[in-house]
Amino acid sequence: MTPSFFTDYPLKPEILRAIDEIGYVNPTPIQQKTIPHILENDRDVVGLAQTGTGKTAAFSLPILHKTDPNLFKVQALILCPTRELCLQITGDIEKYTKYLSGVSCVAIYGGASINNQIKLLKRNPQIIIGTPGRTLDLIKRKQLKLSELRFLVLDEADEMLSMGFQDDLNEILETSPEEKQTLLFSATFPGAIAGISKKYLNDPIQISVVKKNESTAQVSHSYYMVHERDRYAALKRVIDLNPHMYAIIFCRTRQETRDIATKLEQDGYNSDTLHGDLTQDARDRVTDRFRNKQFKLLIATDVAARGLDVKDLTHVINYNLPDETEVYVHRSGRTGRAGKLGESICIINGKESYKIKQIEKLTGKTLEHKAVPTVSDIFQKQLFVYLNKVEEAVCDEQLDEFLPAIISKLSWMTKEDLIKKFMAVEFHRFTNYYKNAQDINVHSKESTRKSKEPAKSDQGIQYVKFVINAGASQKVSPEFLIRFLNKELKKQRFKIGKIDVQKNRTFFDVDDQIAPYIEQVFDEVSIGGHDVKAQRI
């Protein structure tokens, strides 16, 4: 029988006491599958699980139980993609070890003083939580010794690869002792993860908790369909319809985050961006200010927002949908936490409705097609919120002394005029912006939800999207890809659509006639010594 209480697990009483104090009572599905396995078995694990499923406790609790408090050597190494996640995991482990005397952990990550981290390592912690680059650096400097390593965790492995840590990971995996249990967690399972698993894990058991309806149970999903040129206008209307919005607006590129921030600033909104071009200090400042609600609209790329744990987001907005459908689950799982309701909103153009279908298939949820708010909807909402604010306002006595003068100055106006004028001042920004606003919904037939996957382009060609695990770092360019496909597909005629070369992967569209051959074409292909696989998405 699956234990439904933590107290059913044979964990050390000190650990049970700590988690009881934190308030965990029932293990989450990933914990139910992982904790007993690690406690009883040393077979490697591949876990398909997202952030928010409780996977940190799933691997840390049994590892802590098995950590020898009398052996002052590194016994567990937890690798993760970002400093934020590193600190989050460290914070969690510190809580779990509150009563476990003799067991300590240290976080090592780039962008911070290596000397301080070396000092902390000299205190002989048993658990290390690190980002791959800094971890490898400390191994090479012989400051981090793994001779007694018993557990190696790869957390958010897909993200570590997409951030370009593949070589660092390989080196760490190769230098660590053979006799250890490796636990790999990933939200998605691209070819490169399968490659790592095959090469470095020993007959792993598979644990999966990507259950339909599960991670997004508290989240309602909807989308707005507009012309590409109206994407920002739609975003603005959605923001205006939700005056209390506390949201992350997800973009696909750094440039896009900057463009939207500029536009929002021009339109009088307080927002900020989080993307990979920022220094670590700048990122920390932005996330702290966002957490403290000094601004309530964070415009971010997926990678930069990883590890950012903000509890009460009201909305997640997909300004552009991600290339990988699974990433949508990640994004939307950031709202609707801790029993609160959240909304995940997508803004799409007429050609992207097939992506909505893909998301529905993956999540088992229906995404409601909503009409973009009208100006009247927005005004009604804003006025209502404002009037409530007026009714609830606490009047400051300091202003009382000015009241007679104010009343005398405005005495010539009727009550109605007065209200109108106050409204005009308060809503000037809105009335001005929406003066000539029109309906921006896309109504045309070809772009209703009936459109079939794959989407038809303007020329009537049906394109299918693929991704390969090689990009600019492996010297892939659009020309290279076209030449390669021409060569491999011999004399077959085919059309290639959009090509998007990223750092370590490349997305491209090909016509559906040739699509069945693409994965085969990339079978056993090596680019710059790198095994390349193509995956249909």
Cβ–Cβ under 8 Å, residues 249 and 466: no
Can you tell me the distance from the alpha carbon of 496 to that of 459, in angstroms, rounded to the nearest whole number?
13
Residue (26 or 270) nearer to ligand AMP, CB: 26
Residue (57 or 77) nearer to ligand AMP, CB: 57
Measured in residues, the chain has a length of 537
> Considering the complex, what minimum distance in angstroms separates the CB of residue 28 from ligand AMP?
5
Q: Other C-beta atoms within 10 Å of 224: how many? A: 22
> Considering the complex, what minimum distance in angstroms separates the CB of residue 206 from ligand AMP?
18
> Considering the complex, what minimum distance in angstroms separates the CB of residue 339 from ligand AMP?
11
492: its two tokens: 């077959």
> Considering the complex, what minimum distance in angstroms separates the CB of residue 24 from ligand AMP?
4
Site residues for ligand AMP per CB under 6 A: 24, 26-28, 31, 51-57
Can you tell me the distance from the alpha carbon of 59 to that of 446, in angstroms, rounded to the nearest whole number?
48
Residue (93 or 249) nearer to ligand AMP, CB: 93
> Considering the complex, what minimum distance in angstroms separates the CB of residue 75 from ligand AMP?
20
Q: Other C-beta atoms within 10 Å of 258: how many? A: 15
Residue (20 or 265) nearer to ligand AMP, CB: 20
DSSP state of 22: H
The backbone torsions φ and ψ at residue 28, rounded to the nearest 5 degrees and listed phi first, read: -75, 165
> Considering the complex, what minimum distance in angstroms separates the CB of residue 337 from ligand AMP?
8
Can you tell me the distance from the alpha carbon of 188 to that of 167, in angstroms, rounded to the nearest whole number?
19
Listing DSSP states for 462-492 in one string gives BEEEEEES--GGGT--HHHHHHHHHHHTTT-
Residue (51 or 502) nearer to ligand AMP, CB: 51
> Considering the complex, what minimum distance in angstroms separates the CB of residue 25 from ligand AMP?
7
Residue (28 or 216) nearer to ligand AMP, CB: 28
Residue (19 or 300) nearer to ligand AMP, CB: 19
Can you tell me the distance from the alpha carbon of 109 to that of 33, in angstroms, rounded to the nearest whole number?
30
Using CB atoms within 10 A of its CB, is residue 197 exposed (0-12), middle (13-18) or buried (19+)? buried
Residue (29 or 190) nearer to ligand AMP, CB: 29
> Considering the complex, what minimum distance in angstroms separates the CB of residue 469 from ligand AMP?
25
Residue (336 or 471) nearer to ligand AMP, CB: 336
CA dist 53 to 209, 214, 216, 235, 300, Å?
8, 9, 11, 29, 22
Beta strands in 81-196 (DSSP E): 105-108, 127-130, 151-154, 181-186
Residue 42: closest CA among 215, 205, 176: 205
> Considering the complex, what minimum distance in angstroms separates the CB of residue 27 from ligand AMP?
5
Listing DSSP states for 179-203 in one string gives SSEEEEEESS--HHHHHHHHHH-SS
